[in-house]
Amino acid sequence: MIWIAGGIIGVIAGLLSGLLGVGGAIVIIPSLVFFLGFDQKLAQGTTLLLMLPPIGFFAFLEYYRRGMVHVPLGIVMALFFVCGAWIGARIAVGIDSLVLKRIFALFLGFVAIRLWFS
């Protein structure tokens, strides 16, 4: 059952990633928590595993072929993203899972409100 659910979550997240540029935090983490009963940290760690470069490569390639990628900025951001992700992971694993889940919910709520009113 977990494999089928994971496949369904993966397909939905992949479709939304290609369509809207979202998937990891907004789709996969809540799905793993709500539908598979994952702890917040387990959901975040699993999502980081699947977001490694091979997953997004073909979606990136399609945008790149159409001239819709700012390559120099993407490279700079990727370098800093690596540093930020490492620091963030070190902080996250030391926070209580319930607190981390609530911080995540606040972040998603903030993003939703900003998008709605912008």
pLDDT in tens, the chain (118 residues): 899 999 999 899 888 887 777 776 788 889 999 999 999 888 988 888 887 667 778 888 888 999 998 999 888 888 888 888 889 889 999 999 999 999 988 988 998 999 799 8
Domain with 33 in it: 2-117
Closest CA to 41 of 32, 52, 51, 50: 32
- Which pLDDT belongs to residue 104? 87
Block residue for tokens 């209580």? 96
Q: How far apart are CA 92 and CA 82, in angstroms?
A: 15
- Report the predicted TM-score, pTM, of the whole model to 2 decimal places: 0.69
- Give the sign of the dihedral formed by CA 107, CA 19, CA 77, CA 115: negative
- Which pLDDT belongs to residue 102? 93
Q: How far apart are CA 84 and CA 90, in angstroms?
A: 10
**SS3 label, residue 38:** coil
Overall domain count for the chain: 1
